[in-house]
Amino acid sequence: MATLDPKTMKDWEIAEAAEAGMRKIGAIADELGITEDELYPYGHYIGKVDYISVLDRLKDRPDGKYIDVTAITPTPLGEGKTTTTMGLVEGLGKIGKRVTGGIRQPSGGPTFNIKGSAAGGGLAQCIPLSEFSLGLTGDIDAINNAHNLAMVALTSRIQHEFNYGDKFLARRNLERLNIDPRNPAMGWTIDFSAQALREIIIGIGDKMDGFMMKSGFQITVSSEVMAILAVAKDLADLRARLGKMVVGYSKSGKPVSADDLEVGGAMTALMHKAINPNLMQTLEGQPVFVHAGPFANIAIGQSSIVADRLALKLSDYHVTESGFGADIGFEKFWNLKCRFSGLVPNAAVIVCTVRALKMHGGGPRVVPGKELAEEYTKPNVGLVEQGTENLVAHIETVKKSGIQPVVCINHFYTDSDDEVVAIRRVAESAGARVALSKHWEKGGEGAVELAEAVVEACEEKPRFDFLYSLDLPIKERIAVLAREVYGADGVSYTPEAEEKLAAIAEDPEAKKLGTCMVKTHLSLSHDPAIKGRPKGWTLPISDILTYRGAGFLVPVAGGIKLMPGTSSDPAFRKIDVDTATGKVRGLF
């Protein structure tokens, strides 16, 4: 490890060098207490774990400590949340704790676009990097296929009912669903950032080519199928949730589900292996469960409940990650994931960087692909202090859950001691523990202070409670989230959103669903351009989506798109394969 220098080496170069000394996945599983029959190897260094067998065998074993990693509002570059998760796992391993990590599988969209993979960075990574970044064991492919099979069922049913009517229905012993082609509940999925597919027309041709209608694509990891994988408790729960997915609506406005289309069983068949979590490792050989996917700004953005339940039985400390800042990822971890799982967390780590605090303090715009302004690489305590109001907002959010917050100052080697002191002073005054961590530069050794602070926080008994009751009407829940988490003065609604809220109020099943907000991750507000801790603003809700399978009502704030776009300088330009060795180069 001493020969790996993140200051001079790219992440993929570090990963490639470290992979030469990787532990075999069978050895990692054996050390965790997973039997040979419970591990399904995918090559030498990755495996899926039979969660049913493990959970049944260890049902009487007490759970370990449960830790969530979240962050302040990030710059567009991200502030190293996954890097910190991997670093904390390495740090806990360094101080002798039996530890597991839990992260999400990266999406092909960011991997080939601006953000890159989601394996961490420097000396705090999940490996093997290429396999992690390029499909892993096929879970996202399964999600893509299950989602699109539901759309095949919907569009073919529209075509056959329209073209052949009662004759077709009688021959197949089917009831007329009378699906409205102008009101589908979803489109198609592809796991790339493909802005050209956001809006399309399908069925062009004669009647054998389908029914002509407007449609479109969303990125696969934003699919309700992904959300279902993240929150399902077991295979039976997965099957029930997939069957409840609303794929379209009848002309009278009645929801048409996957089970109405008789496709829920086939969707589950495509997903039945994907529900088993993937087992990988950190650069230092600690076990990491990789399951479900990202995008907490437009989805739930959590690693799975199944993976967390599994890891908590196998380890004394389990570190999971929730997407983006505490206003989005942690809020969904708190009020959705924990509500569904029944698990009570012991601590939450809030990742912050000097860079992001300077941005929130009024620093120049941070643009991916462009060199950082000198304000971000030279000491400027004043900018940091002005930006700490954003950090305080996230500390207050975590404290409202009753969980112990630990602020991790994710150290960049350009940070000054005076800037670090300023962050410590503010965070401690706000009631959080604080730890400086140099895991990117030094791996587990650099994360010992963070690991010790987290162990200390876990010794305090959490006073955990949800922010709202499911008995609270959806409109009041949105108001609570807007006021208590985002800091808004109020909420406004479009006529379309008001119409959907009225329908939800009349639907006993819908009004008991959880609330999964869709909001930008780049601001506490709905507007990504507004930094710091915005005051005197109103949260605009433009639409309310219903994910009956996942169990969510999804209020949409701002102009979020379910399909990101590819930039003018995408990451795929730098990715290639060494044809002599077969190794992938250029991932980051």
Cite the active site residues.
81, 83, 104, 115, 296, 324, 412, 440
Token digits for 315? 């380890």
Token digits for 413? 């080697």
User: Are 179 and 198 spatial neighbours (Cβ–Cβ below 8 Å)?
Assistant: no
Token digits for 507? 């639907």
| H or E segment to which residue 323 belongs | none
Direct distance between the N- and C-terminal alpha carbons of the chain, in angstroms, rounded to an integer: 19
Of residues 93, 137, 121, the one with CA closest to residue 318:
93
Token digits for 74? 């990030």
Token digits for 554? 């999804």
User: Are 328 and 558 spatial neighbours (Cβ–Cβ below 8 Å)?
Assistant: no
What 8-state DSSP symbol labels residue 365? P
Spatial CB neighbours of 357, under 8 Å, sequence gap ≥ 6: 72, 383, 384, 387, 388, 390, 391, 423
Phi-psi domain of 285 (left: phi exceeds 0; alpha: psi -120 through 50; beta: other): left
Strand ranges in 199-337 using DSSP code E only, listed in sequence order: 200-202, 213-215, 217-219, 246-250, 255-257, 278-282, 287-290, 317-321
| Residue type at position 151 | M
What 8-state DSSP symbol labels residue 530? -
Phi-psi domain of 165 (left: phi exceeds 0; alpha: psi -120 through 50; beta: other): left
Token digits for 533? 């801790």
Look at residue 304 and give its three-state secondary structure. Answer: coil
Distance of CA 527 to the CA centre of its chain: 20
Q: What is the dihedral of CA 258, 262, 265, 269, to 10 degrees?
A: -90
* Distance separating alpha carbons of residues 101 and 395, to the nearest angstrom: 23
Largest Cα–Cα separation, the chain? 79
User: Are 449 and 411 spatial neighbours (Cβ–Cβ below 8 Å)?
Assistant: no
* Distance separating alpha carbons of residues 408 and 228, to the nearest angstrom: 31
Token digits for 482? 């807007």
Look at residue 122 and give its three-state secondary structure. Answer: coil
User: Are 49 and 38 spatial neighbours (Cβ–Cβ below 8 Å)?
Assistant: yes
Token digits for 446? 């650099």
